[in-house]
Structure 1
Amino acid sequence: MQSSLGRKSPPTTLQRLLLIKWDFWTVVTLLVYVFMFAFIIYPLFSLLMNSFLSEDGQVTIQNYILFMKLKYYRSALINSFMVSSVATVFAILIGVPLAYITSRYAIKFKGLLQIMVITSLLSPPFIGAYSWILLTGNNGYITRFIHSLGINIPSIYGWHGIVIVFALQFYPHIFLYVSGALKTIDTSLEEASESLGMNSWQRLRTITLPLIFPTLSAGALMVFMASFADFGTPMLLGQGFKVLPILAYEQFISEMGGNPAMASTLSIILILCSTLILFFQRYFVSRKNFSMTGMRTPKVKELKPVLKWVFTILAFIPACISILPQITVIITSFIKTKGPVFQSGFSLGSYREVLFRVPRAIINTYSYSILSIIIMVVAGMLIAYILVRRKSKVTAFLDGIIMIPYVMPGTVLGISLIIAFNKPPIVLTGTWFILVIAYVVRKIPYTIRSSTAILHQLDHSVEEASISLGVPPMKTFFKTTGRLMAPGVLSGAILSWITTINELSSTLVLYYGATATISVTIYSEVITSNFGTGAALASILTMTTLISLIIASKLSGGKGLSL
């Protein structure tokens, strides 16, 4: 019988920590976990706990019961699903034919078309909503013109207007995803179906669409999630039509004092719905997946001159309509104004007023975004290295945490950060620092994704050779690996930059007077009918987006952004 003296007791937690090899990457992993737990897990946990509190601080499920009982709350959830679903359907109806035409046929001006499509995607939705108000609002240019012909049309306000703006704003997700899939599809399957007597429509329906379904569903998910989480467009166009992000915002920030517990409840329901949609898409794709070799990619077909022009015009119709908001705000920004009323003639008055009245908003936007992008680039590269080169259960769990911002609408993130950091020992509400944190948390997944993509393409032997020559791992990363990653990472980081300068939903919850940004100021100007200054500020964002796209294209060697 073995003596108990001969048995080894299991190591304690302290002993396990002492056995860990504490190198540079272990420290980085620990710091990343601290950041993620501090600004993602802890705020989310605080939000969840707050949703179970009554007004007098007692633990209760009354908020969830109220949500189920009151039609006011249920209707907002139904409205959110309705506009998001319908917008996704319309985005597919626009994006799939456009992708098929541009990827399979040699139409004219393809490069210009792609620039227009990407520009319309990266412009913030609330600017699109504002532009459509100028064009088709109650007193819009197009509305007045059509009324002068004796034809009455409904204005852009209401749920149908929200759907139109979402579809025109987000169909580029479908276009870009499907275009990539159609260019790599194996044509031997289509040729085999053609030899069996299938016509073009049957071949498209039974072969092509099933093959690209996983990619198409990923694009559709992006459209649905973006529509479901958007705050600015329903707020500007709804006129009483409530969706869940608006309701959460109004419950949290109310003239009557607000109801943070109910706002937390609505926020948790928003996250649950987004997560369920994400899992549903992945489950559905796993059951309907198709594979192909991709050995014979399709060739672009030449068309007869007349047919080429017909297809070109058909492709440019949705692209021109979707970029109309950007053109509208730029032109409108130069029209003379007298208060909220536009006058005949052109001037720089709106720009002068912007520079005189709200220069701080412009400075804030660029300073906060520059600081955020620096953090995102450095942290994104380090996190990507951990995920790709230091694979383990620890890093796999970290990868899961990084996915959380994908299902957190900006409004929800803002509310969770305020609930978590509005009392001692750490008070961040009312500071610029909390805005930078929100931008980093929301946008860093873009940078991490571009960093991991480029890192997968780099040969591990370069780092091994450097370390074998006695160069420490940290120095090797910053002098060798980091430099090789930089061009691809910066191209992806510009996407984070563009979405950061245009961020509205989280900023609107977190800012106070001195930390207002351009997007918040545009929103305020539109609400108060100061359309001239709103257009000038929107034009500044639009031009910044265009310049950023050009820089990204140069950095990526003309390949453009990887969205």
Structure 2
Amino acid sequence: MKSGIKKLNMWQVLAFAILALFLMFVVYPIGLILYKSILMQDGSISFSYFGKFFSKKFYWSTLVNSFKVTIASTLVSAVLGLIMAYVLRSVQIRGSKYLNILIVISYLSPPFIGAYAWVQLLGRNGFITRILNSMFNVQLGGIYGFSGIVLVFSLQSFPLVYMYVSGALKNLDNSLNEAAESLGCSVFQRVTRVIVPLVTPTLLASSLLVFMRVFSDFGTPMLIGEGYKTFPVLLYSQFMGEVSTDDHYAAALCVIVIGITLILFFLQKYIGNKLTYSMSALKPMQAEKATGIRNILAHAFVYLVVLVAVLPQLTVISTSFMETKGASYTGQFTLENYKNILMPKNISTITNTYLFGLAAILLVVVLGVLVSYLTVRKRSFLTSILDTLTMFPYIIPGSVLGISFLYAFNRKPLLLSGTAIIIIISLCIRRMPYTIRSSTAIIGQISPSIEEAAISLGATERKTFLKIMVPMMMAGVLSGAIMSWITLISELSSSIILYTSKTQTLTVAIYAEVIRSNFGNAAAYSTILTFTSVLSLLLFFKVSGNNDISV
């Protein structure tokens, strides 16, 4: 008699196992936040915490401030990224290969490091501020507040728009541009009537990514916002502040953030599905050698933007070798800052960053490859659920994920708070969606007939996957893993909530040193992080065999 129960195969078991992991480390913590947001201190259910937020201007004004900052930063980033992409794609700029690398480096650096560096330059006692004050006999107030936050976010975020739009322009058929020129359109008319409409879907999609990144960042407004308080700062202070903390109210704020980011995510999906289109570049846009004033203006604009974008990194590196007295630099050369951070009690911060990052990236690669293979080659209702769940960490801000982890894993039998494991898992969960998406694209380019041929020759599915699919995917997966590694070691928002004195990472150490006004140590830590990112980026170019990082 045959049993009616269908035997599970290896892939179904893997799908169930990975699904169980995501249910435990994504669904359960977020579900706990939702429950805690409506749970009163006496155990009753109520929405009063949401009423508290929307009834007091002190609270809801932070949400308005966040939208003001985010909208302004997104608009500036979109315009700047579009212009930079067009100029570098249409005009031959000397050293464009290296300029492209510098633009990417400026994006990979954490925003709060840019904020700290701009304080050194344009703060009340900043280098540039002192020069301007002495030259014009004025007393400038510094970079603090709305304008400073927008400046830092815009310079940090325009490279993302640049990379996306540059990729779109690479696939643009230049015959359309030439046709417009033959009909008498000026350069400005061709750009506004032909180029911009064609890249608008990509521009909007990348702008939404910038919007989500800026909206959820708290490090920059915390450092230079001063009286201009944003929503992520309110969330952090409610959960981690020294006074007036309220876990349940913080949970309600997390739910509001999740709701807003979900709306933005579905808006991005709508734009991606409805407005994007494919184009075959029969005659791709080629950078042409410009002459006269056009050539001068193009070079001047590109060089100036790149210089301003990488100025924070240059400032951090140079000040790391300067002697400090209190919060000021004496201008004297010293290695004391590096001696301080390389002391036995501080060196663990650096080793933690690399060890946690390597452990997380190994998990990201293994799980990312398995999830992408299951969702592409083994499609089913189960893998569809898995595909949706793996995108959730992409939507959820890091601070919300950190708070949810503390709620979920702060007691037995899953007592993980305060350990290295919880930080590694949070880093893995946060960065996995990027690797899954890149791996999915790679698998889509490999014909299923290759696997079918191997199986027809007697190979098992497991052997086919390990001996054929994995090696064919490896170059692309490694490239994606290196880029994930760069963003992973720069993670602050979740790490600063989950860390302890024994699990502190570079980003947390930099933030802590800036808060304490130990700018020399902060600069030394930042320089190590910057050089790690640069070396990783060069490794990415070596592995991928491509110096063009356009998306």
3-state SS of paired residue (2:546): coil
Structure 1 unaligned residues grouped into runs of 5+: 1-14
- What is the RMSD computed on CA atoms of the aligned residues? 1.8
Mapping of residues 163-182 of structure 1, within 5 Å: 163-182=150-169
Q: Which amino acid aligns with 2:266?
A: F
Which residue among 87, 97, 100 is the counterpart of 1:114? 100
2:86 touches 2:169 (CA, 8 Å); kept in 1?
Answer: yes
Q: Which residue of 2 aligns with 1:508?
A: 496
Q: Which residue of 1 aligns with 2:145?
A: 158
Mapping of residues 32-111 of structure 1, within 5 Å: 32-111=18-97
Whole-angstrom distance in 1 between the partners of 2:275 and 2:184: 25
Deviation at 1:307, TM superposition (A): 3.8
Whole-angstrom distance in 2 between the partners of 1:291 and 1:200: 25
Whole-angstrom distance in 2 between the partners of 1:466 and 1:299: 42
* Matched-pair identity in %: 42
Q: Which residue of 1 aligns with 2:544?
A: 556
Say which is worse superposed, 444-453 or 97-106, in terms of deviation. Answer: 444-453
Say which is worse superposed, 153-162 or 168-177, in terms of deviation. Answer: 153-162
Q: Which amino acid aligns with 1:492?
A: G
Whole-angstrom distance in 2 between the partners of 1:289 and 1:520: 39
| Alpha-carbon spacing, 1:286–1:441, altered in 2? closer, same or farther (3 Å) | closer
Whole-angstrom distance in 1 between the partners of 2:548 and 2:528: 22
2:349 touches 2:503 (CA, 8 Å); kept in 1?
Answer: yes
Which residue among 184, 194, 214 is the counterpart of 1:207? 194
| Alpha-carbon spacing, 1:284–1:196, altered in 2? closer, same or farther (3 Å) | same
Whole-angstrom distance in 2 between the partners of 1:155 and 1:62: 40
Which residue among 126, 133, 136 is the counterpart of 2:112? 126
Q: Which residue of 2 aligns with 1:374?
A: 362
Whole-angstrom distance in 1 between the partners of 2:429 and 2:124: 39
Whole-angstrom distance in 2 between the partners of 1:558 and 1:166: 28
Q: Which residue of 2 aligns with 1:312?
A: 299
Whole-angstrom distance in 2 between the partners of 1:291 and 1:414: 38
| Alpha-carbon spacing, 1:370–1:287, altered in 2? closer, same or farther (3 Å) | closer
Q: Which amino acid aligns with 1:263?
A: A
Whole-angstrom distance in 1 between the partners of 2:211 and 2:390: 20
Whole-angstrom distance in 2 between the partners of 1:420 and 1:97: 46
Q: Which amino acid aligns with 1:92?
A: A
3-state SS of paired residue (1:108): coil
- Deviation per residue, 1:97-126 (Å, 9 max, x gap): 111000112221110110010000000111
2:171 touches 2:280 (CA, 8 Å); kept in 1?
Answer: no
Q: Which amino acid aligns with 2:302?
A: A
Say which is worse superposed, 252-261 or 511-520, in terms of deviation. Answer: 252-261
Which residue among 287, 298, 321 is the counterpart of 2:285? 298
Q: Which residue of 1 aligns with 2:338?
A: 351
Whole-angstrom distance in 2 between the partners of 1:473 and 1:24: 9
1:107 touches 1:309 (CA, 8 Å); kept in 2?
Answer: no
Q: Which residue of 2 aligns with 1:459?
A: 447
| Alpha-carbon spacing, 1:261–1:215, altered in 2? closer, same or farther (3 Å) | same
Deviation at 1:365, TM superposition (A): 0.8
Mapping of residues 320-469 of structure 1, within 5 Å: 320-356=307-343, 357-469=345-457
Say which is worse superposed, 540-549 or 492-501, in terms of deviation. Answer: 492-501
Alignment length, in residue pairs? 547
- Deviation per residue, 1:431-454 (Å, 9 max, x gap): 111101100110011211221222
Deviation at 1:264, TM superposition (A): 0.8
3-state SS of paired residue (2:238): helix
Deviation at 1:410, TM superposition (A): 0.6
Say which is worse superposed, 542-551 or 384-393, in terms of deviation. Answer: 384-393
1:552 touches 1:560 (CA, 8 Å); kept in 2?
Answer: no
Q: Which amino acid aligns with 1:255?
A: E
2:202 touches 2:276 (CA, 8 Å); kept in 1?
Answer: no
Mapping of residues 179-194 of structure 1, within 5 Å: 179-194=166-181
Q: Which amino acid aligns with 1:184?
A: N
Q: Which amino acid aligns with 2:108?
A: L
Deviation at 1:201, TM superposition (A): 2.4
Q: Which residue of 1 aligns with 2:513?
A: 525
Deviation at 1:286, TM superposition (A): 5.4
Whole-angstrom distance in 2 between the partners of 1:449 and 1:544: 24
1:552 touches 1:561 (CA, 8 Å); kept in 2?
Answer: no
Q: Which amino acid aligns with 1:89?
A: L
Whole-angstrom distance in 2 between the partners of 1:362 and 1:298: 44
Q: Is the aligned partner of 1:489 residue 2:477?
A: yes
- Deviation per residue, 1:435-488 (Å, 9 max, x gap): 011001100112112212222222323322333333322232222211121111
2:97 touches 2:547 (CA, 8 Å); kept in 1?
Answer: no
Deviation at 1:253, TM superposition (A): 1.6
Whole-angstrom distance in 2 between the partners of 1:478 and 1:412: 36
1:81 touches 1:228 (CA, 8 Å); kept in 2?
Answer: yes
Deviation at 1:185, TM superposition (A): 1.4
2:513 touches 2:522 (CA, 8 Å); kept in 1?
Answer: yes
2:237 touches 2:245 (CA, 8 Å); kept in 1?
Answer: yes
Which residue among 139, 143, 151 is the counterpart of 2:129? 143
| Alpha-carbon spacing, 1:469–1:441, altered in 2? closer, same or farther (3 Å) | same
| Alpha-carbon spacing, 1:235–1:533, altered in 2? closer, same or farther (3 Å) | same
Say which is worse superposed, 349-358 or 418-427, in terms of deviation. Answer: 418-427
Say which is worse superposed, 162-171 or 244-253, in terms of deviation. Answer: 244-253
Give the TM-score normalised by the residue count of structure 2.
Answer: 0.95
2:349 touches 2:504 (CA, 8 Å); kept in 1?
Answer: yes
Q: Which amino acid aligns with 2:66?
A: S
3-state SS of paired residue (1:369): helix
2:479 touches 2:540 (CA, 8 Å); kept in 1?
Answer: yes
Structure 2 unaligned residues grouped into runs of 5+: none
Q: Which residue of 2 aligns with 1:11?
A: none
Q: Which amino acid aligns with 1:408?
A: I
Whole-angstrom distance in 1 between the partners of 2:359 and 2:174: 47
Deviation at 1:164, TM superposition (A): 0.3
Whole-angstrom distance in 1 between the partners of 2:503 and 2:465: 36
Q: Which residue of 1 aligns with 2:233?
A: 246
1:414 touches 1:506 (CA, 8 Å); kept in 2?
Answer: yes
Q: Which amino acid aligns with 1:530?
A: N
Q: Which residue of 1 aligns with 2:249?
A: 262
- Deviation per residue, 1:181-229 (Å, 9 max, x gap): 1121123333443444433323322222111111001110111111001
Say which is worse superposed, 179-188 or 134-143, in terms of deviation. Answer: 179-188
Whole-angstrom distance in 2 between the partners of 1:383 and 1:220: 28
3-state SS of paired residue (1:40): helix
3-state SS of paired residue (2:94): coil
- Deviation per residue, 1:225-267 (Å, 9 max, x gap): 1100111101111113221111111111232362111111111
- Deviation per residue, 1:297-351 (Å, 9 max, x gap): 2233222266434312211111110100111111000012244432232111000
Whole-angstrom distance in 2 between the partners of 1:368 and 1:328: 28
Q: Which amino acid aligns with 1:470?
A: G
Which residue among 194, 198, 216 is the counterpart of 2:203? 216
Deviation at 1:429, TM superposition (A): 1.1
3-state SS of paired residue (2:494): helix
- Deviation per residue, 1:483-522 (Å, 9 max, x gap): 1211111111111111111111100111111111111111
